[in-house]
Amino acid sequence: MSFKIAPSPHGHNQRNTSEMMRWVCYALVPGVLLQSYFFGPGVWFQITLAVATAVLAEMACTVARERPAFSALRDNTAIVTAILLAISIHSLAPWWVIVIGTLFAIVVVKHVYGGMGQNLFNPAMAGYVLLLISFPVQMTNWLPASTISEHSLTLWQTLHTILFEYTPAGYSVEQLRAGIDGVTMATPLDTIKTELTRGYTLTEIYQGPEFSYFAGAGWQWINLGFLVGGLLLIQQRIISWHIPLGFLAGLCLPAFIAHIFAPDLMPGPIVHALSGATMLGAFFIATDPVSAATSNRGRVIFALLIGFIVFVIRSWGGYPDAVAFAVLLANMCVPLIDRYTRPVVYGHGD
Amino acid sequence: MSDVKTVNRDFNTGIIGQFPGGVHPPERKQPASSRPIRRLPLPAELILPVRQHIGPSGKVLVEVGERVDKGQRLTEAGLSQGLPLHAPTSGVIAAIEERPTAHASGLPEHAIVIHPDGEERWGNKHALPDYHDIEISRLLELVQEAGIAGLGGAGFPTAQKLAQQKPLKHLIINGVECEPYIAADDRLMQEYADDIIAGTRILQYITRCNSVLFAIEDNKPEAIKAIAAAIDDDTQIQLKVVPTKYPSGGEKQLIELLTGHQVPSGKLPMDIGLLMQNVGTAYAVKRAIIHGEPLLERVVTLTGEALEQRGNVWALLGTPIQHLLDESGFNPEKKQRIIMGGPMMGFTLPSTEVPVIKTTNCILAPTDHELPAPGPELACIRCGACSDVCPATLQPQQLQWLAKAKDYDELEKHHLFDCIECGACAYVCPSEIPLVHYYRKAKAEVRNIAREKAKAEQARKRFEARQERLEREKQERLERHRKAAEERKKMQQEKASRPDSKTDSGDEKPAEKSAAVAAAIARAKAKKAAQAAKDNADEDSSAKGNES
């Protein structure tokens, strides 16, 4: 009889890429649930649109590259990219925004560079930056969290707004953002930025309706949700602690020092850690292995760099949040970091 | 489990170092480790590949049809690294021919085939119960003549490893057996602890080393007890219980674990005063010196769920694998794999007609359920799981990219050749990339390139030497012609300057003479023309040689 020939090793620890990506999706659940609680069911529409677009784009690209259409989908990476992009944009953004962003992420950032494992940049963040630069108005129209909002939309109203940019009653997203006093409300980070330029101190700014407890209303809970999911990923050994910890250290340490010197001008580490996309970025975005550094030492440097750039842009830059820019900038440094953090091979020390 | 812990407390005499990486695959040493080593009935034939170890093979000393005794020498010890081969049992030489052998390629090799006669008739044995008054060089010769090669891994001839001249800090006896499933060394230690320690003392005597580190992994409590009892109060032998982790039994990893030192790349353990021998080798040395028995058999673990009777057997060298499977209740499934060695580093056999050789420690016949065949290879996502487990702190993912890109210079810069092929990287790779397979291919390719380069260099030297010779010959030829021409000129001048020339005398004779001269000149000219043509042709051909 004939026997099967196979290269060693003849066993595997049975944790494969598809399964890892599935775990990433599970770990996103607490954060996404909280996000849909505070920003309405639009989050789910955005995710559905993004995933559908990503799956079709992935299939089209693999067919165009003369590979089996379903084999690329099996690894679930396109789905993760789509979800990350969908939860990075606000829940009432017009449908074509997420479709364009996802197409760019999958087709250009991923497949044009050679597909799975070959992309230089984090696809979701590159897609986000494209959208932010091309459609600044649609991208920055974040509503206030539902707990402090004057309006709450039904499922049908949400869908109508995403499809036609107006609620069935004819309100634009811009109008929906207005508070009880008719003044437009922004995200907590945005509020800090604009109010500081108008000469208010942080103590005064924190009195506003956008803030409660430790940081921004709604946003703090969403960040804690992503933190819980991220810790689950570490516990499951899907990601290692190096990147999340490096990211948070790179952001919070400078924030802490700055806060000590200028407590009324520079927000403290807790505000930074629980605002914007901090936790999502630290545990789910910067940890994308493809575009991160490869050695553990390199990853710490990579993550510190991201955290620090986020701090710098939030404090002095033109954008209220900066995770996407920081990640892309650090992606560019990866080959350099990898080169200088190569571990010493056995027998080459001393 | 509590048993293991008490053993740890008693014998863990301080592990100094640790090695990076490593994995913890399911051990699955049961039931092999708890069943006594069996003896099987003799097989119908024994196949002994003439070359069983690293190094050239020796001359065959027997003929087809000859009756041989058990332990009779079949081949001459070859040059430098050669080891002799012995008849594992008495019988008749049935054939000396090409047979498939235990190599991943399954390529046939020259082999001696014996039909056992069942008499187990021993030839002469030169037992040396007391070796302490024997010279070390003689003991080394005896180890060499017994055909002993390292039974743990690569099968390097033991006598040559022992013959090194440098003073030793420690002699390390390796009873770690970190690879899953395999329990051959484990059982040997449980049943033959005294013989192993006796063999260790012989090795100590040969290497003049008074410090032995005897390493066993902590998942072998019975073996630890047995060896501890055999060591008794010998203070020169320290028992070191090392934590279970694959590949702690690798030579370099175990050295780092026990001493905290790394073997510098490209050097041998003896360069830092260390020598490692496997427990099976220590046992074989004891049999060879004290009992005068050459290496004829070894313990082989027969395991995997496709076998009904799993356990260890004493297998004569040359026993066909099929015989071992037949004796173990083999139920092959579809696409059955037969692995020689363990699941991490073993290789699949294309046929079960191949024989047991000196380095065969395990035959593993797994079902697809217990060791699932790898899924389709996906793209590398640079997750770095492989570098986390690499015991050599290489960057397997980088090596993989470079190997696929065939960037051999960069591969060497990333220290491809420090890879020990333990398979930990491929074991954890979420994209199921057969990483070790790529490294082996790349290593073979780098070696090929080096060989080709050496060949080309030799060819170039040969060509240059030929060119030089042709040029020299041409110069010599021209020189000869020039001299001949001068000679002729001189003669003509002498002739012309002779005062009493007879050319004007008017008789017939001079005319005849001048005709003869003219004919001679014509002949010489023709010859010269022919020579010139030949020279041209020569030059053409050498020019062509240059182009090619």
Name the phi and psi angles at B123, rounded to 5: -85, -160
What gap in Å lies between CA B523 and CA B482, rounded to an integer?
18
Question: Å from A311 to nearest chain B CA?
Answer: 27
Q: Are A186 and A142 in contact (CB under 8 A)?
A: yes
**Residues A306, A271: contact at Cβ < 8 Å?**
no
Contact B392 A5 (CB under 8 A): no
Residue range A275-325, pLDDT digits in tens? 989 999 999 999 999 999 988 899 999 999 999 999 999 999 888 888 999
Q: Do B394 and A345 touch (CB under 8 A)?
A: yes
Which residues make Cβ contacts (< 8 Å) with residue B429, sequence separation at least 6? A12, B385, B386, B435
Query: What confidence score (pLDDT) does residue B3 get?
Result: 41
Mutation site for A-interface testing, chosen from B330, B393, B420 by largest number of A Cβ within 10 Å: B393
pLDDT tens digits, B187-209:
999 999 999 999 999 999 999 88
Tokens of A11: 């066993």
* A335 and B CB contact within 8 Å: no
Chain B neighbors of A240, CB-CB under 8 A: 388
Chain B hits for A15, Cβ within 8 Å: 428, 430
Establish if B348 touches chain A: CB-CB under 8 angstroms.
yes
d(CA A228, CA A315): 27
Indicate the DSSP class of residue B90: S
pLDDT of residue B14: 61
Query: Hey, is the C-beta of A65 within 8 angstroms of any chain B C-beta?
Result: no
Interface mutation vs chain A, best among B334, B383, B388, most A CBs within 10 Å:
B383
Nearest alpha-carbon partner for B440 in A342, A13, A9, A345: A9
Structure tokens at B302: 């027969």
For B292-347, write each residue's pLDDT tens digit: 999 999 999 999 999 999 999 999 999 999 999 999 999 888 889 999 999 999 99
For residue B25, list chain A residues with Cβ-Cβ distance below 8 A.
11, 13
Q: What is the pLDDT of residue B548?
A: 42
Percent of all residues in chain B with a pLDDT value above 70, rounded to a whole number: 89
Other beta carbons within 10 Å of A261: 8
**Which tens digit of pLDDT belongs to each residue from A164-211?**
888 887 787 777 777 666 667 778 888 888 888 888 888 888 888 778
CA distance A86 to A88: 5
Give yes or no for residue A244 having a pLDDT over 90.
yes
- Which DSSP category does B157 fall into? B
Instruction: State the Cα–Cα distance between residues A24 and B170, nearest whole angstrom.
Output: 49
Half-sphere exposure of A327 (CA within 13 A, CB side): 31
CA distance B338 to B307: 11
Over residues B503-526, the pLDDT tens digits come to 554 455 556 667 777 888 888 888
> Residue B13's pLDDT is what?
52
Confidence of residue B6 (pLDDT cuts 50, 70, 90): very low
Report the residue of chain A nearest B265, measured CA to CA.
A347
pLDDT tens across A117-159, in order? 889 999 999 999 999 999 988 888 787 777 777 677 888 888 8
Q: Shortest CB distance from A295 goes to which of B180, B387, B415?
A: B387
Q: Search chain B and give the residue with CA nearest A116.
A: B379
B26 to chain A, minimum CA–CA distance in Å? 9
> How are strands ordered across the β-sheet holding B339-340?
B38-39, B311-316, B297-303, B362-364, B339-340, B347-348
**pLDDT value at position B538?**
58
- Distance CA(A251)–CA(A239), nearest Å, equals 20
Torsion of CA B444, B446, B450, B456, to 10 degrees: 90
- Asked if B401 reaches chain A (Cβ–Cβ under 8 Å), the answer is no
pLDDT confidence of A214, banded at 50, 70, 90?
A: confident
Which residues of chain B neighbour A347 with C-beta distances below 8 Å?
252, 262-267, 392, 418
- The secondary structure of residue A106, as a DSSP letter, is I
Give the model confidence (pLDDT) of B132-172 as tens digits.
888 888 899 899 889 898 888 778 888 888 887 788 899 99
The whole-angstrom separation of Cα A268 and Cα A266 is: 6
Angle at A70 between CA A68 and CA A75, to 5 degrees: 115
Q: Name the pairing type of β-strands B212-217 and B170-175.
A: parallel
Q: What value does the mean pLDDT take over residues A320-341?
A: 92
**A14-38 burial code (b ≥16 CB/10 A, e <16):** ebbbbebbebbeebbebbbebbbbb
Give B-chain residues touching A290 at CB under 8 angstroms. 381-382
| Mean predicted lDDT score pLDDT of chain A | 88
Cα B164 from Cα A235, distance rounded (Å): 50
Chain B residues within an 8 Å CB radius of A116: 378-379, 381
* Under 8 Å between Cβ of B329 and B307: yes
A258 HSE (CA, 13 A, CB side): 21
pLDDT at B9: 39
pLDDT of residue B2: 39
Q: Do B265 and A348 touch (CB under 8 A)?
A: yes
**Cα separation of the two ends of chain A:** 53
State which H helix or E strand residue A30 sits in. Answer: helix A17-39
How many CB atoms within 10 Å of residue A1? Answer: 6
Q: Which among A20, A77, A289 is the nearest to B384, CB-wise?
A: A289
User: Does B334 contact chain A (CB < 8 Å)?
Assistant: no
3-class secondary structure, B518? helix
Return the SS3 of B455: helix
Q: Give the closest-approach CA distance of B282 to chain A in angstroms.
A: 27
Q: What is the DSSP string of A208-244?
A: STTEETTEETTHHHHHHHHHHHHHHHHHTTSS-SHHH
pTM of the shown model = 0.80
A198 touches chain B (CB under 8 A): no
- pLDDT interval class at A40 (50, 70, 90): confident
Residue B349 near chain A (CB below 8 Å): yes
In the 8-state DSSP scheme, what is residue B22?
Answer: -
The 10s digit of each residue's pLDDT in B353-367 is 899 988 899 999 999
Taking CA atoms, B234 is separated from B197, B210, B286, B520, in Å, by 10, 11, 18, 101
Taking residues B47-59, report their average pLDDT.
72
Interface touch B343/A9, C-beta < 8 Å: yes
Look at residue B133 in the predicted model and tell me its pLDDT: 85
| Minimal Cβ distance to B262: which of A3, A17, A346 | A346
CA A215 to chain centre: 19
Name every chain B residue with its beta carbon within 8 A of the beta carbon of A19. 430
The set of residues, in sequence order, having a beta carbon less than 8 Å from that of A114 and lying 6+ positions away, is: none
Q: Is A117 on the interface with B (CB under 8 A)?
A: yes
Closest chain B CA to residue A15:
B430
The helix (run of H) or strand (run of E) holding residue B312 is strand B311-316
Nearest Cα to Cα of residue B84 among B103, B58, B102, B122 = B58
Residue B130 — very low, low, confident or very high, per pLDDT cuts 50/70/90?
A: confident
Q: Vertex B53, ends B50 and B59: CA angle to 5°? A: 35
| Three-state secondary structure string covering B207-243 | HCCCCEEEEEECCCHHHHHHHHHHHCCCCCEEEEEEC
pLDDT of residue A92: 87
Q: Which residue in B332, B428, B437 is closest to A13 by CB distance?
A: B428
| Spatial CA neighbour of A217 closest among A149, A280, A138 | A149
Model pLDDT, residue A313 = 93
- Say if A76 is an interface residue toward chain B (CB within 8 Å): no
ipTM of the complex: 0.81
Contacts of B426 in chain A (CB under 8 A): 8-9, 12
Which candidate, A138, A133, A58, A132, places its Cα nearest to that of A93?
A138
pLDDT at A68: 79
